[in-house]
Amino acid sequence: MTRLITLITATAIGLISTAPAMAQDKHHETAVKRYIEKLDPQLDKLIDIDSPIEVLSSGHQWTEGPVWIPSDKALLFSDVPRNKIHRWKEGEGTAVFVDKSGYEGPAQSREPGSNGLMLDNEGNLIVCDHGNQRVYRRESDGTRTTLIDRFEGKHFNSPNDLDIDKVGNIYFTDPPYGLGDPSKSELGFFGVYRLSPDGNVKLLVKDLLRPNGVALSPDEKTLYVAQSHKPAPVFMAYPILDDGAVGEGKVLFDASEHAKTSPGMPDGMAIDKEGNLWATGPGGVMIISPDGTLLGRIMMGKKTANCTFGGGGSILYMTSSDNVCRVKTKTLGRKYVQKGLAQ
């Protein structure tokens, strides 16, 4: 924990851009209706359906990759098209944290910036970088260390989302969104990978057409992957084998019917301490039990890309189109229990 506090505090205090924020905080949109939809009695244990859904920051283009920084009590999130990482903090609002968070030259695609963000076990910020087709670590002095940018000598497509286990393995997805044109892929497929702390990379899944969000179960024996593909909008579950590979996947939840009537596709996920998936998808955030039962939805009124637990572990922060929102829950994020961060 000492290194986490040291790194994040140094970054938060010394390296925030002084550029004016491009967002308005706590902006109220009267035309957008947000509410919690209860579909199963089990939902009552997880969230109060009358909990208010707050808009914390707005005016962005497409928000993604939220991560809570416990030592700073702040939220970082990406605006992928605008190529920035923002920092939001209670009482301070939103400011640019990193400009040119992805590609540092002229934009080559509609999505040149960072996407998924996460802290590793030492407190470093790990970034999925669309524009440079890599995963990098942001050091305390603001420099960037590429962790991986190729598989078998070929560039990745655009690393999108990630999760990190207790021993430091980084699981990440590599869809084509940052390429603009999928035919530009050097690999010719869109995979899910595991990067070990010693730098070895293993291809885990190759047969999904649009792998997107990725998350681990609390016991780290199941890998969840969301597929943002209109013909097959599904959440997959893969058993993690002893050698680090994954076994045959199964469809945990098929969101096809919901996608017909609600905006959004399966995307980023957060897992609570009981193993429930808080999975962005059609409507907003779908709350899915480990056995695949849809317990309810946080209806956001807009396409919603990702979410994470923050605060003391029971606040769900959501990146929804041009907004960042939050809602109080009755449960805790899995990492808060694993790392003893709950307050």
Q: 2-338 sits in which CATH class?
A: mainly beta
- Evaluate whether 267 touches 304 at the Cβ level (below 8 Å): yes
pLDDT of residue 31: 78
pLDDT of residue 180: 83
pLDDT of residue 18: 32
Q: What is the largest CA-CA distance in the chain?
A: 52
pLDDT of residue 290: 98
What Rg do the C-alpha atoms of the chain give, in angstroms?
18
Q: Beta partners for 195?
A: 170, 201
pLDDT of residue 106: 77
Nearest 5°: CA angle at 26, between 24 and 27? 65
The reported pTM is: 0.91
Q: Which residues contact 52 (CB under 8 A, 6 or more apart)?
A: 327
For the chain, which ranges sit under pLDDT 50? Answer: 1-22, 343
Which class for 22: exposed (0-12), middle (13-18), buried (19 or more C-beta within 10 A)? middle
Identity of the residue numbered 257 = E
- Rounded CA-CA distance 147/134 in Å is 7
**Beta-sheet strand order (sheet of 162-164):** 162-164, 170-173, 192-195, 201-205
> Length of the chain in residues, anyone?
343
pLDDT of residue 341: 60
pLDDT of residue 291: 98
Q: How do the domains of the chain map onto residue ranges?
A: 2-338
